[in-house]
Amino acid sequence: QVQLVESGGGSVLAGGSLRLSCVTSVYIKSCMGWFRQAPGKERAGVAVIESDGRTSYANSVKGRFTISQDNAKNTLYLQMNSLKSDDTAMYYCAARSLSGGWCYWSPQRFDYWGQGTQVTVSS
């Protein structure tokens, strides 16, 4: 059974930084991404990374967030800088599949999900 386990969330003041990590139980050679969901809002894509390393970001986080992965450690990261109160949400990592599959922004395209880690930014 594939497991994705996020960590690194917490409470931070506006302008601060956090790094989220997502460890997978198996090596995943597919698109992976970070999504977030704030109370009363739909889950939305934040950043995705193709299996070849190409990345894409939501406009709201461009220039502030960086997605990366360490395949040797089966770990996906999200470095978040210059955090704003609007970034407050539950953050989830997800995998399109175990192997293959291009990135999409729709959460419905992703088959595997972690349990989420809460990020709270206060001003």
pLDDT digits (tens, 9 = 90+) for 18-39: 999 999 999 999 999 999 999 9
Rounded to an integer, the average pLDDT of 67-84 is: 97
Residue 99 pLDDT > 90: no
Give the CA dihedral 55, 100, 26, 6, nearest 10 degrees.
40
What is the C-alpha separation between 43 and 95, in angstroms, rounded?
A: 15
Rounded to an integer, the average pLDDT of 83-96 is: 97
